[in-house]
Amino acid sequence: MKTAKLLALSIAFSAVFAGGGAPAWAGPPGAAKLGSHKVLTLVVRDPPWVRCNNNMQVAAELTNIYQLPVQIVPHGLAGAGAKAPAVYYGDELIAEDGGKGNGMVSYTELADMMEVEGVAKHKQEGRLMAKEPKPQHEALKAAIKDVK
């Protein structure tokens, strides 16, 4: 009886942690949905580097227009086997370090997803995309990318 229980437990444990210790159900750390809304999850290095900062800026620009919950998870708290930077939308992996998009997303890519899925928009856009600060911010991003 004990042997059968131990065998069943070891089989269940093996199924959960198949593939070198990474959970077989690997998905985003944290919530994938908040109510009826999919959550945009960013796994970032601590402290965030250039690709992580880009992803956070994209998330800020998206939330300026769309009613989109965002969670930012430091790599150290993301769990075993997590890569950073990584971006999830709901349960779907959008970008991952060394894989899809090499961990970086673009505003256009995610905004297209939001439009296709019919994500609700705010009644009035925020000022993040207003004409006054946008050129200065683009110049700052370009300067950051040019640092060697």
Q: Tens digits of per-residue pLDDT, 49-108?
A: 899 999 999 999 999 999 999 999 999 999 888 999 999 999 999 999 999 999 999 999
Helix/strand/coil for 100:
helix
Q: What is the pLDDT of residue 69?
A: 97
pTM here is 0.70
| Mean residue pLDDT across the chain | 81
For domain 31-146, give the CATH number: 3.40.30
Q: What is the pLDDT of residue 131?
A: 67
Domain spans of the chain, in order of start: 31-146
Q: What is the pLDDT of residue 1?
A: 45
